Amino acid sequence: MSIGTSPLSERIAIIGLGYVGLPVAIAFAKVAEHAVGFDISQSRVEELKAAHDQTGEISREELLETSLRLSSDPQSLSGASMFILTVPTPVDDAHRPDFKPLLSACETVGPHLKHGAIVVVESTVYPGATEEVCGPALERASGLKCGTDFFLGYSPERINPGDREHRLETIVKVVSGQDDATLERVAAAYGAIVHAGVHKASSIRVAEAAKVIENTQRDINIALMNELSMIFERLDIPTRDVLAAAGTKWNFLRFFPGLVGGHCIGVDPYYLTAKAEQVGYQPEVILAGRRINDGMGRFLARKTIKLMVSAGRSLTGARIGVLGLAFKEDVPDLRNSKVPDVIDEMRSFGLAPLLHDPHCNAEEARHEFGLEIDDLERFSKLDALVLAVPHRAYLDRKSEILKMLVDGGVLIDLKGALAPEDIPAGILCWSL
């Protein structure tokens, strides 16, 4: 389905204006005569009204030009015919699905549902959650009957923060509906904003399952690479060299070891395993992959300490720097970052590493992790330096970054972002 030329007749309301919701809202405002972007955070709404998006996903020019109505007032949702929920679906400390944000969104939307309205969930959930969790919550909040008075749809988000190539408009959109008529309305709405077209899933549960396995597959593959890197480390074989050699085979899958964070890959598998356990199946491969990836921060911290000892660096009063806190390079996104795991493990050995990230908000880092962002000027005469997130801002200053280390210091180039010839003599360098 290609983008149509006529205005979209649906009155669209997007609930949640984060990394996912804001691009969706901006896109719908271009084709719908009535589009509202709602967020419970008044400060977030005011920031967007001032044409600033701290996530970096939407430019100032786009915010200045959009006709999107921004609001933190639930009354702004009245009159909408299609509600799109793009709120977080995290896990709790026990790695169980936490539906509180999604249920809160349903409670907000419910009073504004009218007969014939559709509620589309974009948040990642386990198969069945849209109908089993959201449906009853919306019924309670609205007094209406799901499947008779209002209808459900599911269209999983596929936005990749910081990726300028794979955008909402260029990625095929999976859509689904509670019945055929709902499916056609959901498909028509998304077809109006997605150039790549839509894929009509046979049911909501199929669409939910498709989303959750996309990131589960990546998680398991990265876990395999992480386990291989730990094996090769003991064999004194460079993992990157092994992968470069194996990658010459046409059907070798190109995954690399690293810290697995973010809003999806480190979270979504737990939604699937929770549902599997509900129906009496104990997952093995998926949870094994999660254990490996969740343990990588600890492994990297201990590897750094071992290398410092082998290099003759004293741990007493050692100066250690960690560059990068975001879950991936060149974005300010802290969600589920595993860099704090590295820092926490170092602290358990009595070390006090410095931390810097050119993109991350200091207040958010303090609030989410209890971590302080240090000035880069403090990074001098370091015994060890961990390049945890190879932001372009660091790579563009690599010679300056490398001078932060004392002679005989240890460099942990986590992703192997620096070329071997860039490393000065006398520096002990190690990568996954």
Query: CB–CB of 192/6 below 8 Å?
Result: no
Give the list of residues 6+ apart from residue 161 with CB closer than 8 angstroms, or none: 19, 55, 57, 262, 328, 331, 333
Rounded Cα distance between 394 and 240, Å, is 21
Report the side by side order of strands in the sheet with 12-15: 69-71, 35-38, 12-15, 82-85, 118-121, 151-154, 173-177, 198-200
The C-alpha atoms of residue 382 and residue 317 are separated, in whole angstroms, by 11
Is residue 264 among the annotated active site residues?
yes
Q: Are 70 and 49 in contact (CB under 8 A)?
A: yes
How far apart CA 273 and CA 95 sit, in angstroms, is 10
Give the three-state DSSP class for 154.
strand
The two three-digit tokens of residue 243, written as one number: 């992968």
- Indicate the angle between helix axes 268-278 and 204-234, nearest 10 degrees: 110
Q: Which two tokens stand for residue 214?
A: 């996309």
Angle at alpha carbon of residue 186, lines to 125 and 130, rounded to 5°: 25
HSE-up of residue 414 (Cα within 13 Å, Cβ side): 27
pLDDT of residue 217: 95
Instruction: Please classify residue 256 by burial: count the beta carbons closer than 10 Å to its beta carbon, then call 0-12 exposed, 13-18 middle and 19+ buried.
Output: middle
What is the model's pLDDT at position 33?
87
Amino acid 7: pLDDT? 67
Average pLDDT of the chain to the nearest whole number: 94
Inter-helix orientation angle 296-310/204-234, to 10°: 20
Q: Which of 146, 264, 360, 429 is catalytic?
A: 264
List for the chain the helix, strand, coil content (%; round to 5).
Answer: 40, 15, 45
Q: Is residue 54 helix, strand or coil?
A: coil
Q: How many CA atoms lie within 13 A of 184 on its CB side?
A: 2
What's the pLDDT score for residue 264? 82
Residue 126: both structure tokens together: 């386990």
Contact indicator for 403, 394 with CB cutoff of 8 Å: no
Beta 35-38 vs 12-15: how paired, if at all? parallel
Residue 127 CA to residue 204 CA, distance in Å, equals 8
> Helix, strand, or coil here: 29?
helix
What does the pLDDT read at residue 1? 36
3-class DSSP state for residue 199? Answer: strand
- The series of mean pLDDT values per 10 residues for the chain, 432 residues long, is 60 95 96 95 96 92 96 96 96 93 97 97 96 98 97 91 80 97 97 96 98 94 96 93 95 93 86 96 96 95 96 95 94 92 96 96 93 95 96 94 95 93 92 92
The confidence score (pLDDT) of residue 6 equals 52
Q: How far apart are CA 79 and CA 25, in angstroms?
A: 16
Cα(337)–Cα(211) distance, rounded to whole angstroms? 21
Tell me what pLDDT residue 261 has. Answer: 85
